[in-house]
């Protein structure tokens, strides 16, 4: 089911104006009309945040406006969560985190919710986690997959260092990587790492989960 561009624009404008109630009601209306969570995430929430990120990068809005928009989106996602949590869980577990030094965690939370919709057990660690702590946690929970998010292109060297460390500790663990940092390309470099898959969007993740269970 398509979401028209007028509503996408209205949601973006609500975020920029800090109108949480309006934005929240719009998402509630979309759900009541039968729009799937993944479509709302991809076509409304993520699309708006990407555009806000570009406005910030171009100096057209300040950090406060960007932070407020992210906070509103996270609040809306929290409101949606009761409809996402799967009642039937699989035995597979995924750990989800941002690349070290990243502070934008909304995207990886969306990925976490898609995993939950598919019945996975999720450990969402968010942003600001040092690599050594991530490795320590993974050793304790022994996940079947790891998902990493990178929002800022200048953190690409950090991502590559993390992948090297992860490969040293978990040689065959599937690692899924995505985020706004790849919007202008650059995901080709991930092909140099074994068992690393680039996810262009949430639909790519859904396709992977639908056709490759368990992930290998």
Specify the domain boundaries for CATH 3.40.50.280 within the chain. 93-211
Superfamily in which the 93-211 domain is placed by CATH: Cobalamin-binding domain (3.40.50.280)
- Give mean pLDDT, residues 100-111: 94
Please give the pLDDT value at position 216: 52
Between 211 and 106, the more confident residue is 106
Summarize pLDDT for 54-99 with one digit per residue, the tens. 999 899 999 999 999 999 999 999 999 988 875 567 789 999 999 9
- Write phi, then psi, for 207 (nearest 5 degrees): -65, -40
Candidates 97, 201, 102; CA nearest to 157 is 102
C-beta separation of 108 from 126 below 8 A: yes
Alpha carbon distance 69, 150 (integer Å): 18
Six token digits for residue 122: 């999720």
CATH 2.40.110.10 fits 5-83, yes or no: no
Please give the pLDDT value at position 17: 98
Six token digits for residue 191: 């092909």
Supply the Cα-derived Rg of the chain in whole angstroms.
17
Summarize pLDDT for 168-194 with one digit per residue, the tens. 999 999 999 999 999 888 999 999 999
Six token digits for residue 48: 């708006």
Q: How far does CA 70 lie from the centroid of its chain?
A: 13
Specify the domain boundaries for CATH 1.10.1240.10 within the chain. 5-83
């Amino acid at each position: 089911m398509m979401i028209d561009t007028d509503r996408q624009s209205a949601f973006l404008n609500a975020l920029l104006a800090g109108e949480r109630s309006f934005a929240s009601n719009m998402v509630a209306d979309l759900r009541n009309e039968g729009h799937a969570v993944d479509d709302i995430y991809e076509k409304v929430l993520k699309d708006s945040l990407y555009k806000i990120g570009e406005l910030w990068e171009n100096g057209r809005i300040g950090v406060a406006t960007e932070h407020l928009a992210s906070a509103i989106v996270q609040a809306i996602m929290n409101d949606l969560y009761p409809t996402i949590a799967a009642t039937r869980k699989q035995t597979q577990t995924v750990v989800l985190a941002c690349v070290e030094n990243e502070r934008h965690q909304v995207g990886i939370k969306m990925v976490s919710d898609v995993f939950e919709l598919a019945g996975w057990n999720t450990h969402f660690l968010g942003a600001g986690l040092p690599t050594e702590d991530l490795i320590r946690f993974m050793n304790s929970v022994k996940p079947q997959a790891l998902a990493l998010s990178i929002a800022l292109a200048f953190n690409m060297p950090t991502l590559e260092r993390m992948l090297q460390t992860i490969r040293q500790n978990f040689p065959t663990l599937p690692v899924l990587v995505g985020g706004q940092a790849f919007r202008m390309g650059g995901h080709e470099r991930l092909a140099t790492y074994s068992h690393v898959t680039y996810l262009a969007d949430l639909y790519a993740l859904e396709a992977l989960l639908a056709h490759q269970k368990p992930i290998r």
